[in-house]
């Protein structure tokens, strides 16, 4: 009999499967003091919480039987993930339970923005009746551009089409087949930005998507465009949005999230064209029940030794295998990160080849780490456990190969990423006393330490090319720590990898690209 301890309020409907399970004893004790929680956790096999219970390292240390901690929601800030991982306890959350709720809230904001409903309401209750002040616009035949067509973006598209809107979508993982199935027009980011009468963002917040909508982006938009953000604060540059509304470029904005929450006395609130809500995307009765249902199912799967998908930390693996694989973990993740950043487009197939001694081990944990490194360039919240699920969900084919031939090294790991535009690869090994090394990029032999800020430059092998690159960087105060050059033939195609002390400004990249012998310049952050 498994004991499931629930320490925060969850509805009976949300935990119905647990209550009906014959092999589970559900113990509900909310409002526990920290000392009371320490006593209760000792005999628990699973712990289910929301945001109130603080699952500290002390609590985890007292958990002698605990196999899983389940958060009925998305955020896990109240759980010490590192302590749980160190003790082999799986932490799961519910990233899908608020999909419908958030999509509906976004559409409610879209309609409210179009018809000035919040502004009109405030006017009426103030005793005014000024119909001419609140003339709106119809959604019929307007174009909605959705930036990020994941679960929530796809649900928003369905609702927009029901209102006879034209939907244009950008997502690096959007295939032609899925776009056709959803009835949306697939577009590049720039095309989607330019096409929309309405633009709604639904991407995760990553390094690449922070301020995805910025001053230059606003200049590409239609005059009178309307902007929505019910995803993550920071995707839109709020200062640039303020300026775009003041100039008349943007007719209005609907915001449920902000870069800083609560936003306080935000300048945007001084503009009558802006409507806002306090991060209500997931705030429905149904969403709260759905997240409880999702984590209840995950808890049952884990307790019964069945497959699960929404873990946010590493699963426990045998200590002996972990010891053998641990030295390769950094190399695996860095190879994935390098190839993803060096390539163009989202992955369609990821092929991992293990050669030499490492091929004799169970390398599944390393493959998950490689997937995490590769997918994290486009997706947020990717970890070793959910990376295979996310790859499958987005139609990315994963191929794992083993060979005894390691070309003079005792072991090699090769990561090859195929996109709709090109195929790129990076091969690496471990050097005794020196750690991870990238030994080959595509077909070019190199010796690169995969860390820090790198410039990956493709060029023609011509006299003076390297010197001119160094001069440009030196003139801009960029120090080169190391440089590696790879070529196959004299005067042919070549690459150079420069490890630099800090990131470079975009105009430095553009200056390098203008050189005759330079074909591409990519900044890679490892």
Q: Is residue 281 part of a domain?
A: no
**Do 267 and 123 sit in the same domain of this protein?**
yes
Give the DSSP letter string of 269-307. GG-TTEEE-SS-TT-SHHHHHHHHHHHHHHHHHHHTT--
Asked if 70 and 97 touch (Cβ cutoff 8 Å), the reply is no
Give the chain's end-to-end CA distance (angstroms, integer): 46
DSSP H or E segment with residue 106: helix 99-115
**Which residues, in sequence order, are CB contacts of 44 under 8 Å at separation 6+?**
3, 4, 5, 27, 63, 65, 66
Which of the following is catalytic: 105, 232, 368, 459? 232
Strand partners, 436: 430
**Do 444 and 480 sit in the same domain of this protein?**
no
**Do 356 and 415 sit in the same domain of this protein?**
yes
**Do 458 and 490 sit in the same domain of this protein?**
yes
Number of neighbouring beta carbons within 10 Å of residue 328: 24
Q: Is residue 310 part of a domain?
A: no
| Backbone phi and psi for residue 468, each to the nearest 5 degrees, phi listed first | -65, -35
**Which residues, in sequence order, are CB contacts of 89 under 8 Å at separation 6+?**
60, 63, 66, 67, 68, 69
Q: Is residue 457 part of a domain?
A: yes
Which of the following is catalytic: 279, 389, 468, 487? 279
> What is the C-alpha to C-alpha distance for residues 518 and 521, in angstroms, rounded to an integer?
8
Share of the chain above pLDDT 70, in %: 98
The predicted-structure confidence for 240-291, as pLDDT tens digits, reads as follows: 999 999 999 999 999 999 999 899 999 999 999 999 999 999 889 999 899 9
Q: In terms of residues, how long is the chain?
A: 526
Give catalytic status of residue 215 as yes or no. Answer: no
Q: Is residue 66 part of a domain?
A: yes
| Backbone phi and psi for residue 187, each to the nearest 5 degrees, phi listed first | -145, 165
**Do 22 and 109 sit in the same domain of this protein?**
no
* Six token digits for residue 387: 């990376």
Give catalytic status of residue 261 as yes or no. Answer: yes
Give catalytic status of residue 178 as yes or no. Answer: no
CATH number reported for the structural domain that contains residue 202 in this entry: 3.40.50.720
* Six token digits for residue 150: 């994941």
Q: Number of folded domains in the chain?
A: 4
The predicted-structure confidence for 4-47, as pLDDT tens digits, reads as follows: 999 999 988 899 999 999 999 999 999 999 999 999 999 999 99
* 146 or 173: which leads in pLDDT: 146
CATH number reported for the structural domain that contains residue 397 in this entry: 3.30.1330.90
Q: Is residue 26 part of a domain?
A: yes
Could you list the residue range(s) of the whole structural domain that residue 358 is in? 317-450
Q: Name the nearest CA neighbour of 309 among 294, 321, 319.
A: 294
Which of the following is catalytic: 261, 286, 306, 451? 261
**Do 507 and 415 sit in the same domain of this protein?**
no
- The answer to whether the pTM exceeds 0.85 is no
Asked if 341 and 438 touch (Cβ cutoff 8 Å), the reply is no
Asked if omega into 262 is within 30° of 0 (cis), the reply is yes
- Coil, strand, or helix at residue 159? helix
- Coil, strand, or helix at residue 127? coil
Question: What per-residue confidence (pLDDT) applies to 344?
Answer: 86
The predicted-structure confidence for 205-253, as pLDDT tens digits, reads as follows: 888 889 999 999 999 999 999 999 999 999 999 999 999 999 999 999 9
Q: Is residue 106 part of a domain?
A: yes
Helix (H), strand (E), coil (C) string for 498-518 = EEECCCCCHHHHHHHHCCCCE
């Amino acid at each position: 009999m498994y004991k499931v301890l629930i320490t925060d309020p969850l509805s009976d409907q949300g935990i119905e499967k647990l209550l009906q399970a014959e092999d589970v004893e559900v113990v509900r004790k909310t409002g526990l003091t920290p000392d009371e929680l320490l006593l209760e956790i000792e005999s628990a096999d699973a712990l289910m919480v929301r945001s109130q219970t603080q699952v500290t390292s002390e609590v985890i240390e007292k958990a002698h039987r605990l196999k899983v901690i389940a958060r009925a929601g998305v955020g896990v800030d109240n759980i010490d993930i590192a302590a749980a991982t160190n003790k082999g306890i799986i932490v799961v959350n519910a990233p899908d339970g608020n999909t419908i709720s958030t999509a509906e809230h976004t559409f409610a904001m879209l309609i409210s923005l179009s018809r000035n409903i919040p502004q009109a309401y405030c006017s009426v209750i103030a005793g005014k009746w000024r119909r001419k002040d609140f003339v709106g616009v119809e959604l019929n035949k307007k174009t909605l551009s959705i930036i990020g067509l994941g679960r929530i973006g796809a649900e928003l598209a369905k609702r927009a089409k029901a209102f006879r809107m034209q939907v244009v979508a950008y997502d690096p993982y959007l295939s032609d087949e899925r776009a056709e199935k959803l009835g949306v027009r697939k577009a590049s980011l720039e095309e989607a930005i330019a096409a929309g009468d309405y633009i709604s963002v639904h991407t995760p917040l990553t390094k690449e998507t922070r301020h995805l909508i910025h001053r230059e982006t606003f200049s590409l938009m239609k005059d009178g465009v309307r902007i929505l953000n019910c995803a993550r604060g920071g995707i839109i540059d709020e200062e640039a949005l303020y300026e775009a509304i003041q100039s008349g470029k943007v007719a209005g904005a609907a915001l449920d999230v902000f870069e800083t929450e609560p936003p306080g006395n935000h300048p945007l609130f001084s503009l009558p064209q802006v409507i806002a809500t306090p991060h209500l995307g997931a705030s429905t009765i149904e969403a709260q029940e759905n997240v409880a249902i999702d984590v209840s199912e995950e808890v049952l799967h884990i307790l019964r030794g069945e497959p699960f998908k929404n873990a946010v930390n590493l699963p426990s693996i045998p200590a002996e295998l972990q010891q053998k694989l641990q030295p390769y973990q950094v190399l695996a993740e860095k190879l994935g990160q390098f190839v993803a950043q060096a390539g163009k487009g989202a992955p369609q197939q990821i092929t991992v080849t293990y050669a030499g001694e490492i091929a004799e081990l169970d390398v599944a944990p390393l493959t998950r780490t490689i997937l995490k490194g590769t997918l994290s360039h486009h997706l947020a919240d990717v970890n070793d456990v959910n990376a295979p699920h996310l790859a499958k969900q987005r139609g990315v084919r994963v191929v794992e190969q083993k060979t005894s031939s390691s070309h003079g090294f005792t072991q090699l790991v090769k990561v090859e990423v195929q996109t709709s535009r090109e195929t790129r690869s990076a091969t690496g090994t471990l050097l005794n006393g020196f750690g991870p090394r990238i030994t080959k990029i595509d077909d070019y032999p190199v010796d690169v330490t995969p860390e820090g800020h790198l410039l990956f430059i493709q060029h023609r092998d011509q006299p003076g090319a390297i010197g001119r690159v160094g001069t440009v960087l030196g003139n801009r105060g960029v120090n080169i720590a190391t440089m590696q050059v790879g070529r196959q033939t004299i005067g042919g195609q070549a690459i150079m990898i420069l490890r630099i002390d800090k990131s470079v400004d975009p105009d430095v990249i553009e200056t390098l690209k203008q050189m005759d012998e330079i074909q591409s310049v990519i900044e890679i952050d490892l």
